Amino acid sequence: MKPKKNSKFDLSKNSSLYFSIGFCLMLFISWRAIEWKSYEKSNFDYQILNVNTDEEEEVPITDLKTPPPPPPPPAVVSQTIEVVEDEVDVVETVIKSTETNQNEEIVENVLVKKEFEEIDVPFAIIDDAPLFPGCERVQKSEQKKCFQEQIQKHINRNFRYPEIAQEMGIQGRVFVIFVISTDGSITNIQTRGPDKNLEKEAARIIEKLPKMIPGKQRGRPVRVPFSIPIVFKLQ
């Protein structure tokens, strides 16, 4: 005869649920066991110190008396007396009176030396313009024009195109500035142009100018600056 099983008491029916619950319970117990920490008890006890209850200690004020410095040593006075014989002749200085009377005449010779500073007067506003040799024979109104024409003729006679500038095809305008000094000589020649060779040639032409008759301002010789362009052009 076979035993009969009651379906209400079948334990294998919810075995998976029981297994899951037991598994979760074991995981929780294991996690708590791993995370468990213990601390040793300290043998030191901490107490709160009340600062306000401490009594302030009074520090006595002591008076430090500094001893006075020692007195300086007494000065030693020399008792030696040097006797000097009074045999030196003293020359008396006689001071003359500087007071004058109304009857006396005061004569002073004053030498006045006139010194004039050299100034530069532009060619356009000078009273008497510098003269190129030969222009002194023309009328005064035409002397400036004669000067400029003779300068231009001098440049044309002495003009020479630099060979290096010709080979390199350099051309342009060179501005020349020079000063006609009080003795008629040409000084302070300055050039500005597109090439050093052209500037050197322009300076050479101006250096060959003859000695001029100096210009005058109010009847006395002055320095006169003059500028002129020299054109270098290849044909």
Q: Confidence band (pLDDT; 50, 70, 90) for 117?
A: low
Report the alpha-carbon distance of residue 4 to residue 94 in Å, rounded.
174
User: Domain locations in the chain?
Assistant: 135-232
What is the pLDDT, as a whole number, of residue 112? 45
The pLDDT, as a whole number, for residue 198 is: 93
Q: For residue 28, which amino acid is it?
A: F
* Share of the chain residues as helix, strand and coil, in percent rounded to the nearest 5: 30, 15, 55
Range list of H helices, the chain: 15-35, 143-158, 163-168, 196-207
Residue with token string 């619950």: 21
pLDDT tens-digit map of 47-87 = 444 545 455 556 666 555 677 777 877 665 455 545 555 55
Q: Is the pLDDT of residue 98 over 80?
A: no
% residues pLDDT > 90 (the chain):
38
N-to-C CA span, the chain = 148
Query: Which residues make Cβ contacts (< 8 Å) with residue 79, sequence separation at least 6?
Result: none
CA 160-123-226 angle, to 5 degrees, is: 25
**Max avg pLDDT among 76-85, 90-99, 214-223:** 214-223
Mean pLDDT estimate for the chain: 77
Q: How far apart are CA 20 and CA 17, in angstroms?
A: 5
Reported as a single tens digit per residue, the pLDDT across 23-38 is: 888 888 988 888 877 6
Per the structure block, which two tokens stand in for 104? 């006396």
Rounded Cα–Cα distance for residues 135 and 215 (Å): 13
Contact between 202 and 193 (Cβ < 8 Å) = yes
Give long-range contacts, CB 8 A cutoff, 24+ apart: 187-190. 188/225
The top-level CATH class assigned to 135-232 is: alpha beta
For 143-183, how does the pLDDT look when each residue is reduced to its tens digit (9 = 90+)? 999 999 999 999 999 999 999 998 999 999 999 999 999 99
Angle, in degrees to the nearest 10, between helices 143-158 and 196-207: 120
Residue 88 has pLDDT above 80, yes or no: no
Rg (CA), the chain: 61
Identify the CA nearest to 230 among candidates 162, 144, 146, 141: 162
CA distance 100 to 108: 15
